[in-house]
Structure 1
Amino acid sequence: MLRSTLSLGVFSLALPYLSSATPAHDDLLSVFERRGEPPLSTACSSIVNPEQERAREWIISSRNLQNDQLGSLRSGRTIYHHVLRVKEHLKPCGPTLGNCLLPSKSEAQIYIGQSESIFNARLVHDCLTSVPFNPTVASRFLEYYKDTLQFHSTLAYLKTPPITYQQPPVDLIDGLNRIQIAINNGLLANQYEYEVMLQRLIFSAHDSHLNLNAGVLSAFIFGSPWRIVCVSRDGVELPRVYLEAHVQESLRPGASDASPIATIDGRPVIEFLTDYAANNAIGGLEAHSDWNQLMASAAQDIQGGASIFSGAGTFYTADTTTIKLENGTRLDDHWRAIYLNAGDPSPLRTGGDFYNFFVLGYRPTPDQANNASPTEPTETISPTITASLQATQTSWNNPAYPSHPDVFQTDIGTFGGGFLTGYFLPNSSLAVLSIPSFLEIGGAVHTFSKTIAEFLRKAKAVGKTKVLIDLQQNSGGDALLAHDTFKQFFPWTNPYGGSQMRSHETGSPIGQVLTKYWETLPKESDGYLNLVASEWVPKNRFNPVTGRLFGSWEEYFGPYTAHGDGFSAVEQYDFANVFFTTASTGADEYFKVYGTAGRPANVSQPFEANDIVILTDALCASTCSLFVEMMHHDAGVKTVVVGGRPSYGPMQAVGLTRGARSYAVQLDLDSNIAFTQAKLRDQQDPRSTFLPNRTTSNDVLIVAASINLRNQVRKNESTPLQFLYDAADCRIFNTPRTVFNYTTLWQYAADAIWTTPSLCVRGSTGYSSFNTTGPIEPPASLTPKPPEAPFQQGNSPGTIINGIMNPPIPLPPASPIHADVSRRTDAAFEVACDMNRGCPGTAACVLFSEMCIVNPRGHTVQKNSYRCAAQCTTAAGLGWTGCAGGRICVPRKDSATLANAPIVYGYCWPGQEKLCVAGAPAGQGGYAWKKNR
């Protein structure tokens, strides 16, 4: 079977790459002792059993169903509420609370009759913060992960991004070094603090291809008990945030209007949600796409997902939550934690048990399971999965979608393989093709392509003259299916589709060895077919400069310098090679891309570009971004984006990662490194130690991890698409009817493009670009500003997470977003700065907010700018400077106390500054005062 796939989208979970044998606990202790390190018993309050089976296999087997079916547990929009049971699960020990004695699944559930295990978030947080921290294990993992990040393609651009990039810069390698500084100084109280710090660093890359699911954070996700939507009353007024159920109720005949949410947990709703999105959103390229990840969506529901607000948040927020509506209604409940592991958590009695199980991968001792209270094995399957297994299903079981599609892919359903539906709207010239995912395997690859062809044929046959392609919540999938779909719309247009790797010294041996090895294999042998689409065998890819296949690894890998870093040559896929196209998609039979040499086009172009429109909710990632790039930039199709923050102005149609290749760390990268090192050892080549052994250099059980291996780039450009500003042609707001009725939404979006441009949000048009115009920079007055330093929601005993990941161990400020303010604003303060210019000495470039009173009515306008400020702290012995010249050390929000030693972080601010005339509206003056940051 052909195993190699070009899966760009929802990060596919990989089984951990294991050595041939897993050591018993005694062996593990002796390994630590031989290194001169403390045994795990000094870090964990409960020791794993030194006998029995290969315990890691138990965990892996208990998670296999998730790995195969649920997609990435940290992909934001693909978190699934149903956690499936396995027959060989641990028996619960009862409902005893305290420390890590969690209740059994049956006693933990809040929702009667549902299959997931839901706990009170505070109970889980108390457990997680009791998990001990082993600095040796953590330090070894940081070295392993630092080596891994050398293969991530955007390191240089993240460090110094172009002005078109809408998020703050971040130096990932330096961030790992600063986490190590925190470990060396003994500043971490528990494993949870360490993992949160690491995840925040990863999140700061705003790239869902950069993914790590490991440790105690892999056990739970967090969420509110409520689903929310953001809708405009008439599509023109700025939208308000509502409880989804209240808006649904208001649409019933005779019902009163829903009341907007005024506050959440005592804070103004927009302020709270802005901070929440800044902390929990995954892969958002701007504030609008972060915001949309909070909202309920039917396109997400049909894929079994949850919004980051209602059940897919990574970090703990608080114990209780209170929502107040503008009509005075108050709602109180608890934040919730959802258990993701297939086994029951109750035998994990202590923080040490959690460490052994989720960090090291060893099960609890047998006596814990044997003494547990007996329960009946549970094999509940969620309704979504049940429906997906029915081969006769022909439509989505969701009221937002029409109940009877005119075209549908075989086996519609989350795990049934089918995603495509097509609708011919009555009394309209519009045909709608819904593509919520490009992720297919086996025979579904072929039915996907056939369904596209059927849709186009039938749409023409019934006289439809316009087409809308709905890509809401499309997080990617198979790159070649995007190419195939494009070619069916534009059979005679050849899109550029260029991409390139980062070229670095640790990558070169892999390509040299695998390319030479593949050249020795008999054609069509298993080994040949397994490597024909390998990332490290470029001979099946075109060099667009020469128009020929790459002749060698050296021709491909360069390095070729751009933005101060090395990159490979740009590559394009060889669609004429049926072995390559089949292996790339994982199809069960030979797959050929339509409109290429292997499968020539046999019909004329079905629709002109100006008769097609693409609709997104900005939550379009990976292969979805490739498809939009080809349709919009290469073919000239217009785009409409729906939603975003409650502000006017443009919004990007593709708001999530635009990387070209999500690459699994253990299944792909580590396996290829191990194979390369084995070959080099056989040849007695000293390069065999170009990296430490990837199996023995890491003690942590990784459920899943990925990097972005290749960047998408345009013809004659070097900046990755990830860092370009690419606004939609038109932005629309959701209304109470469009958010629950996609037929209405589709027609609304089509009308905004073809008949009623006034439906487009004010100030949102005129910022799109095609292949003849080049990139357009975002408008300075309309583009949201990235948030300041990450907001730590909820309190953790001894937490210093933000203090470490931000100055005085400096990282760029990272988040609340203030609408209608440019990301880079030069304003006089101490010294103006931006993310490229930096500050002198140890000063930090930080976000400074002023409130300008605009005369004569006393109206206030918030002005934000980046300015240099000295850093200060009360902690002794850490070498950070204090304040001089009468300036005051103003504590940051995230200042905290570790044990009994206060560590207060802050910035040195001067006295009250007068006049922000430069930032006030024309002809108006005012006075400003600072807000502490």
Structure 2
Amino acid sequence: MLCRSLFYTLFCLLWASVTNAAPSRKSTASLTKREAQPQSTACGDIVRDASVNQFPASKVYECLTSVPFNPAVASRFLKYYKDSTQFQSTLAYLKSPPASYLQPPVDLLAGLEVIQTRIDTGAFENQYEFEATLQRLIYAAHDDHFDIAWGITGVFAFGTRYRIVSVSEDGIELPQVYVASDIFQSQQDGGVWKPSPIVTLDGEDATKYLTRFAAENSIGGRESHTDWQQLMSSPAQVIQGIPSVWGGGATFYPGEKLVIGFKNDSKVTTEWQGIFLGDSETGALETGGDFYNSFVLGYWPASYDPEPAPETEEEEEEEQEDESAASTQPVATPTSTTIPTPTGWSNGAYPSPDIAQENLGYLGGGFLSGYYLPDDIAVLSIPSFQEYGDTVDEYSATVGRFIETAHSKGMKKIVIDLQRNMGGDAFLAIDTFKQFFPKIDPYGGSRLRAHPAANVMGKAMTDYFDNITSDDYDYTYLYANEWVASTRLNADTDERFESWEEFFGPHVSNGDSFTTTQRYNLEDPLFDTLALEAYTEGFIVSGYDKSVAEKTQLFAAEDIVILTDGVCASTCSMFVEMMHNEGGVKTVVVGGRPSYGPMQAVGLTRGVRSYGIDSQLDSDIAETQAIRDFNSQPADFLPDRSTALEVEITYATLNLRDQVRKGEEIPLQFQYDAADCRIFFTPDTVINFSNLWKYAADAMWTKPELCVKDSTGYANTDATSTKLPPADLLPAQIPVETSEVKLGTIINGIFNSNSRLGSGIEADITGKTASEPPAVIVAKRCQPDPDITNEYYCPDVNKYCDVSYAYCSTTTPPKRIPRKGCVSLCSYVGYQCGKKTTGGTCVALPDNSYQLQGTIRGFCATPLRRKGAVCPKVAGKPVKEGEAAIPRKGRRDGDELFEDMEEY
């Protein structure tokens, strides 16, 4: 073993690098001052108003464009990001895609070089121009695994109060766009009142406007149908606490006002809204320079102390006595104020479920629900594959119970609803597939991009792992690591890789190099558990537990249909691939642009491994460096991580592994796979999923005329072939555009090599500097609830009462002090929540001592879904024990951003 373990060695090295590096960064946060100009206080106005999290978009834009630009910091970050991007698996295919790919090509590495040239020539006048340009390049990859939330663009989103839906009057005619609440009201009135569709937006044809808006702001769509679909409101997204792109998830400034024109000649003028997603505890931020220091560099203002004074020993003893006394009080009898465990979705589009996973809801962690409809149709709704801890076993058991009950009730057909399923744990998708098709061993082939840095990392980690024993701490830590080859299967031989060299290859395809195609070793229970990344123990994929008898297939493939709305990503795409191409199940897709023709059931990323740059990649590089340093080997081929922590990153991810079919080279990300049938939403299906499920079933099994004109006949169930429809039936590629004139000029230069040279950039970044990480982190106490015995809450509505909170004492050696503490709300375990220069976690070390580790502030109360973590403002009464934060993906936040909008 190295030191006590590599993990502990790395902790020592990384902690030392953080504490020693902070003072040296003081000199990087200053530039030559410009001539004195009145400084905008828009950022201060936003931060000071803690009672709301939404503001006029124009105010947000004024704040964003007042944030100064530091080219030196930007250049160092861009180098860090470019070094990381070489691990993105799709670079060559993005640069030169096959005809089956329906988005424009993009050379990511060349684009990053162009951005660096723009920095060098002074093109960026503020931080927003730089971040928005980089963000637009990232979006051009059309891969929601390749994403970032950082700096000032990571703390704002844009949207309108008027949510929209795209609806066909009869399911046959082309759909029109309506205000969602109008459709809801019309259906409530029994269809007596007919709403008027939207025909213009700011005087422009509504379809043209929305198509451009979708191309600019939607994330990861592999065709423009899916970009469009992400603008539309969906109950399947509302129940996950995620707004539509149009309703609060847009990245780029859309303008000050929006004029909505209706077919009946009426008009509505509304103000675009900006949503603040940042930490509510920022201290006194007034100017754009303050904002830069806080959200780009991660520095607290010098005048602000975010941490309370450490408790005295007397206070600690008093609190422990109070808690001890409280624990002896009788448990309160449930009253009418007790919140019941949800058994169904609190959204009218969903009927009451016949079967549901425990703790249904994104706050509880359960997503599965089952319904047994008339006409012997059973529906399994899976809006997410993201589960944690005990919910993993509950998930698998619920799937099995649904199938068995459907069979015992005499159900003849199965509809699996995957609307707005953005992915989750791959092994849960495999588990679900195996419960429907127990005799099929899924292929699940994938591969990495083979490049020098990957070779160094894999060689170091695989060789180290192969030479330690199972009782070594690092054995479990590395067992399912992406860079350990010997626990995975060679797809050509179905045997474990014998060496890293066998795994690495490389194999040339489309002018780039890739590793040997790998498969999961599903028969290995330790690999199943550790690869799941769901914080559970003893998980084995259904069908691979030798102690359990093999299940019988209860429903034939022809009696199952998968329903999606195109917004299906990552693990969802993997599930559809198994069910459709290996199981033979047909697919129905609903929605898309107002045009006839086919649409893909999987419209988002088909990559199979979202990989955190600032978390997993940096950690794996550090692990490799520790191994090579121990062996006195240089690390010349590893990306430079020396500036990794200079800027504030909420999350940054890339696609590490492509999904490939057996015997094929083109990744599924670039394959075209039309659904067997496409349908449009109608007024009575867009807000009533019982009607939608019946409509989809009818279209597939009894009424094929319900399928959209020219949408059938292009699906394939042969795993080695893909049909491409005629060009006139495919959605058009949408060129890169942006609504902001000057920014558009810069962005367009990224894609067409035009040059815009600006004057030298000078910015005044205020002289606030970082302090060293504090020695003690103490959360404020939870307060006893005056209404409910043995319940606690936090007076600060942005805090969560963590009853298991603990901190490190000031004694030598430090000890773990338990307490009920108010800690920052988070939405994903393992990611930063708050400023990186403060905070930490009191962890147990291998020698059973406790120490403040890392600089991750906040406690992730209920690990939820997606990437990243934020500490959002939560409106309403104080957050009670057991509640958690609202999750977000990209620049999205909130179950309902605008209180005056009806939920449907």
Give the shorter-chain TM-score range: 0.7 to 0.9
Distance 1:296 1:324 in 2: 19
Question: Compared with structure 1, are the counterparts of its residues 104 and 356 closer, same or farther at alpha carbon in structure 2 (3 Å cutoff)?
Answer: closer
Q: Are 1:669 and 2:617 matched, yes or no?
A: yes
Secondary structure of 1:431's partner?
Answer: strand
How many residues in Structure 1 have an aligned counterpart in Structure 2? Answer: 711
The equivalent position to 1:197 in structure 2, one of 113, 133, 140, is 133
The alpha carbon displacement at 1:212 in A equals 1.0
Distance 1:810 1:483 in 2: 49
Question: Compared with structure 1, are the counterparts of its residues 335 and 344 closer, same or farther at alpha carbon in structure 2 (3 Å cutoff)?
Answer: farther
CA contact (8 A) 2:50 2:280 kept: no
The alpha carbon displacement at 1:802 in A equals 2.5
Number of the residue aligned with 2:237 = 300
Number of the residue aligned with 2:268 = 331
- Give the aligned residue type for 2:167: V
Q: Are 1:792 and 2:735 matched, yes or no?
A: no
The equivalent position to 1:340 in structure 2, one of 277, 284, 287, is 277
- Give the aligned residue type for 2:224: A
The equivalent position to 2:121 in structure 1, one of 181, 185, 194, is 185
User: What TM-score does the superposition give when structure 1 sets the normalisation length?
Assistant: 0.74
Q: Structure 2 matches for 1:509-658, cutoff 5 A?
A: 509-585=456-532, 586-598=534-546, 600-658=548-606
- Give the aligned residue type for 1:583: L
CA contact (8 A) 2:661 2:720 kept: no
- Give the aligned residue type for 2:559: D
- Give the aligned residue type for 2:660: V
The alpha carbon displacement at 1:260 in A equals 0.3
The alpha carbon displacement at 1:670 in A equals 0.7
The alpha carbon displacement at 1:102 in A equals 1.8
Q: Structure 2 matches for 1:278-427, cutoff 5 A?
A: 278-344=215-281, 347-366=284-303, 392-402=341-351, 404-425=352-373, 427=374
- Give the aligned residue type for 1:29: K
Number of the residue aligned with 2:206 = 269
The equivalent position to 1:751 in structure 2, one of 698, 708, 714, is 698
The alpha carbon displacement at 1:597 in A equals 4.8
The alpha carbon displacement at 1:693 in A equals 3.9
The alpha carbon displacement at 1:644 in A equals 0.2
Distance 2:33 2:665 in 1: 48
The alpha carbon displacement at 1:779 in A equals 2.0
The alpha carbon displacement at 1:794 in A equals 3.6
Question: Compared with structure 1, are the counterparts of its residues 506 and 806 closer, same or farther at alpha carbon in structure 2 (3 Å cutoff)?
Answer: same
The alpha carbon displacement at 1:456 in A equals 0.5
The alpha carbon displacement at 1:541 in A equals 1.0
Question: Compared with structure 1, are the counterparts of its residues 330 and 682 closer, same or farther at alpha carbon in structure 2 (3 Å cutoff)?
Answer: same
Number of the residue aligned with 2:441 = 494
- Give the aligned residue type for 2:239: I
Question: Compared with structure 1, are the counterparts of its residues 345 and 256 closer, same or farther at alpha carbon in structure 2 (3 Å cutoff)?
Answer: farther
User: What is the percent sequence identity of the aligned residues?
Assistant: 49
Distance 1:431 1:659 in 2: 30
Distance 2:660 2:172 in 1: 36
Number of the residue aligned with 1:101 = 44
The alpha carbon displacement at 1:517 in A equals 1.6
CA contact (8 A) 2:85 2:654 kept: yes
Number of the residue aligned with 1:28 = 25
Give the structure, 1 or 2, with the largest relative contact order (CA under 8 Å, sep 6 or more).
Answer: 2
Q: Are 1:804 and 2:749 matched, yes or no?
A: yes
The alpha carbon displacement at 1:598 in A equals 4.1
Secondary structure of 1:539's partner?
Answer: coil
Distance 1:460 1:791 in 2: 52
Number of the residue aligned with 2:30 = 40
Distance 1:799 1:769 in 2: 40
The equivalent position to 1:776 in structure 2, one of 687, 706, 723, is 723
CA contact (8 A) 1:108 1:118 kept: no
- The farther-off stretch of 688-697 and 639-648 is 688-697
Distance 1:262 1:399 in 2: 28
Q: Structure 2 matches for 1:735-750, cutoff 5 A?
A: 735-750=682-697
Secondary structure of 1:348's partner?
Answer: coil
- Give the aligned residue type for 2:477: N
Q: Are 1:428 and 2:364 matched, yes or no?
A: no
Distance 1:365 1:136 in 2: 23
Distance 2:159 2:253 in 1: 8
Number of the residue aligned with 2:57 = 121
The alpha carbon displacement at 1:696 in A equals 3.3
The alpha carbon displacement at 1:294 in A equals 0.3
Unaligned runs of 5+ in 2: 1-13, 308-337, 757-904
The alpha carbon displacement at 1:806 in A equals 2.9
Distance 1:626 1:367 in 2: 48
User: What TM-score does the superposition give when structure 2 sets the normalisation length?
Assistant: 0.76
The equivalent position to 2:633 in structure 1, one of 685, 688, 704, is 685
CA-to-aligned-CA distance 1:577-628 (integer Å, 9 cap, x gap): 1110001113422001111254655331010000000000000000000000
Question: Compared with structure 1, are the counterparts of its residues 574 and 260 closer, same or farther at alpha carbon in structure 2 (3 Å cutoff)?
Answer: same
Distance 1:497 1:163 in 2: 24
- Give the aligned residue type for 1:132: P
- Give the aligned residue type for 1:726: D
The equivalent position to 1:767 in structure 2, one of 714, 727, 734, is 714
Distance 1:104 1:150 in 2: 37
Distance 1:772 1:124 in 2: 49
CA contact (8 A) 1:179 1:804 kept: no
Number of the residue aligned with 1:219 = 155
Distance 1:44 1:580 in 2: 58
The alpha carbon displacement at 1:761 in A equals 0.1
Number of the residue aligned with 2:11 = none
Number of the residue aligned with 1:74 = none
Distance 2:636 2:622 in 1: 10
Number of the residue aligned with 1:152 = 88
The alpha carbon displacement at 1:550 in A equals 0.4
Q: Are 1:257 and 2:205 matched, yes or no?
A: no
Distance 1:344 1:696 in 2: 26
Distance 1:524 1:571 in 2: 26
Q: Structure 2 matches for 1:747-896, cutoff 5 A?
A: 747-771=694-718, 774-788=721-735, 790-795=736-741, 800-809=745-754
The alpha carbon displacement at 1:409 in A equals 0.6
CA contact (8 A) 1:233 1:239 kept: yes
Q: Are 1:206 and 2:151 matched, yes or no?
A: no
- Give the aligned residue type for 1:28: R
CA contact (8 A) 1:323 1:331 kept: yes
Distance 1:453 1:697 in 2: 45
CA contact (8 A) 2:77 2:643 kept: no
Secondary structure of 1:222's partner?
Answer: strand
Number of the residue aligned with 1:728 = 675
CA contact (8 A) 1:538 1:556 kept: yes
Distance 2:650 2:203 in 1: 37
Distance 1:636 1:44 in 2: 66
Question: Compared with structure 1, are the counterparts of its residues 321 and 601 closer, same or farther at alpha carbon in structure 2 (3 Å cutoff)?
Answer: farther
Question: Compared with structure 1, are the counterparts of its residues 127 and 558 closer, same or farther at alpha carbon in structure 2 (3 Å cutoff)?
Answer: same
The alpha carbon displacement at 1:353 in A equals 0.8
Distance 2:55 2:268 in 1: 19
CA contact (8 A) 1:575 1:598 kept: no
Distance 2:22 2:607 in 1: 41
Secondary structure of 1:331's partner?
Answer: strand
CA contact (8 A) 1:471 1:615 kept: yes
Unaligned runs of 5+ in 1: 1-16, 33-38, 47-95, 110-116, 371-388, 812-933
